[in-house]
């Protein structure tokens, strides 16, 4: 089921204290997007950027101030959550502690009315199907307290799937799990999504999580969509400084620089040819994998220390034009044979160097040439 958001907007009224003005919050601002049928889309952004509000609008828990939502060709904007056929997993997935796994999963089926009402046997087989999909067979008799965090999360997912929803919405479903379980469970979610083919919107503030399992990611900031694309495209080709900074671990290195006569300067050094860029001050982003240690390098940093990562080496350095105290370069282990003394010289890989307008943070495209 394709989902279409058309100029979706949600404003919350100002709620200032008496006598004090407070600005209205635009939690979601003119969001237009088509979630392709059968895809898993990751909605990514920092806390408070409007992710949960977007999900609540899609599932019908909140009404948009403006705009429309379509499931397929059907306008569902005014439908109740029950009428929409949406499965939702919340961040605090709150299982009923006094019910066992089977009863928890079955719960949404018990309230179905009229033509949708199911017999005991139908419910039983739906529950078994959902439980087996999330690999909980054999645990149906247990109470939530007798399950691990990951298993509890899978119960919540099974509960969302048991109604055979047209759309699955997951709001930070992994944030209560420890690091290892998060990894496992996100792969699990991807597997379940592939198997069922249910169009899924997955909300997270964790870029690793979004990048690793999504077909498409949507990056949001303060209610405004910044960029939509395949994870690799958004990483390689961010629309602006916000997106560049938000994606990537370790994060992108940032410098103040200047473009003059088609050359990029950081400090006094010419570090790259950037054809077609008018002379101006710029913000320079360099991905950690964009450095090559080289005696002929023209970008000189003060060497703090190399950190051994095994296959690669992470070089910690500093530079007077760096926005952050540390510059981090990830290079292969062999190149560190050249490392000695207090400085390290780098050549830069042009496709890993990104330029941004100094004031707006918009991306400045350039042709590289040496």
53 binds, among ligand ADP, Mg ion, none (CB under 5 to 8 A by kind): ligand ADP
Mapped onto helix, strand or coil, the DSSP state of residue 261 is: coil
Contact segment (CB under 6 A) with ligand ADP among 47-55, 134-142, 269-277, 323-331 equals 47-55
Note whether 51 binds ligand ADP by CB under 6 A. yes
Closer to ligand ADP by CB, 51 or 182: give it. Answer: 51
Tell me the closest approach of the beta carbon of residue 56 to ligand ADP, in angstroms. 7
Letters for 215-234 (x = contact with ligand ADP by CB under 6 A, - = none) are --------------------
Q: Which of 4, 39, 52, 199 binds ligand ADP (CB under 6 A)?
A: 52
Note whether 49 binds ligand ADP by CB under 6 A. yes
Letters for 9-38 (x = contact with ligand ADP by CB under 6 A, - = none) are ---x------------x-x-----------
Closer to ligand ADP by CB, 102 or 172: give it. Answer: 172
Site residues for Mg ion per CB under 5 A: 52
Dihedral of the CA atoms 99, 104, 108, 112 (nearest 10)?
Answer: -50
| CA pair distance 104, 99, nearest whole angstrom | 6
Closer to Mg ion by CB, 36 or 46: give it. Answer: 46
| CA pair distance 175, 258, nearest whole angstrom | 41
Note whether 53 binds ligand ADP by CB under 6 A. yes
Q: Which of 38, 324, 31, 302 is nearest to 167 (CA)?
A: 38
Q: Which of 201, 206, 139 is nearest to 166 (CA)?
A: 201
12 binds, among Mg ion, ligand ADP, none (CB under 5 to 8 A by kind): ligand ADP
Size of the site for ligand ADP (CB under 6 A): 11
Contact yes or no for 177/209 (Cβ under 8 A): no
Q: Which of 161, 162, 201 is nearest to 71 (CA)?
A: 201
Contact yes or no for 49/33 (Cβ under 8 A): no
What are the residue ranges of helices labelled H in the chain?
A: 51-59, 81-84, 101-110, 120-133, 149-161, 179-196, 207-213, 231-236, 241-246
| CA pair distance 320, 269, nearest whole angstrom | 12
Closer to ligand ADP by CB, 3 or 27: give it. Answer: 27
Tell me the closest approach of the beta carbon of residue 14 to ligand ADP, in angstroms. 9
Tell me the closest approach of the beta carbon of residue 48 to ligand ADP, in angstroms. 4
Chain positions contacting ligand ADP, by CB under 6 A: 12, 25, 27, 45, 47-53
């Amino acid at each position: 089921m394709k989902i279409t958001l058309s100029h979706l907007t949600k404003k919350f009224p100002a709620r200032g204290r008496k006598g004090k003005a407070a600005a209205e919050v635009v939690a979601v601002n003119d969001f237009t997007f088509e979630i392709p049928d059968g895809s898993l889309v990751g909605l990514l952004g920092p806390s408070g950027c409007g992710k949960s509000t977007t999900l609540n609008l899609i599932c019908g828990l909140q009404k948009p101030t403006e705009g429309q939502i379509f499931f397929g060709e059907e306008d569902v904007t005014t439908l109740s959550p029950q009428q929409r056929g949406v499965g939702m997993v919340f961040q605090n997935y709150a299982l009923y502690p006094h019910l066992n796994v089977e009863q928890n999963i079955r719960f949404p089926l018990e309230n179905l009315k009229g033509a949708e009402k199911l017999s005991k046997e139908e419910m039983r087989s739906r529950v078994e199907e959902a439980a087996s999909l999330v690999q909980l067979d054999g645990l149906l008799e247990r109470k939530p307290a007798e399950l691990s965090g990951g298993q509890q999360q899978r119960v919540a997912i099974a509960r969302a799937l048991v109604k055979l929803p047209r759309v699955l919405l997951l709001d930070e479903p992994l944030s209560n799990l420890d690091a290892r379980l998060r990894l496992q469970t996100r792969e699990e979610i991807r597997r379940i999504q592939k198997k069922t083919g249910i169009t899924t919107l997955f909300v997270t503030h964790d870029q690793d999580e979004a990048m690793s399992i999504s077909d498409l990611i949507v990056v949001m900031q303060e209610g405004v969509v910044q960029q939509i694309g395949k994870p690799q495209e958004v990483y390689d080709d961010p629309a602006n400084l916000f997106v560049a900074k938000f994606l990537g671990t370790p994060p992108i290195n940032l410098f103040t620089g200047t473009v003059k006569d088609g050359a990029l300067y950081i400090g006094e050094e010419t570090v790259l040819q950037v054809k077609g860029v008018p002379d101006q001050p710029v913000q320079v982003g360099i991905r950690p994998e964009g450095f090559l240690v080289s005696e002929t390098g023209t970008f000189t940093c003060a060497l703090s220390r190399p950190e051994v990562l095994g296959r690669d080496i992470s070089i910690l350095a500093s530079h007077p034009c760096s926005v952050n105290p540390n510059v981090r370069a990830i290079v292969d282990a062999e190149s560190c044979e050249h490392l000695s003394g207090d400085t390290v010289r780098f050549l830069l890989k042009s496709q890993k160097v990104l330029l941004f307008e100094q004031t707006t943070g918009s991306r400045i495209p350039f042709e590289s040439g040496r």
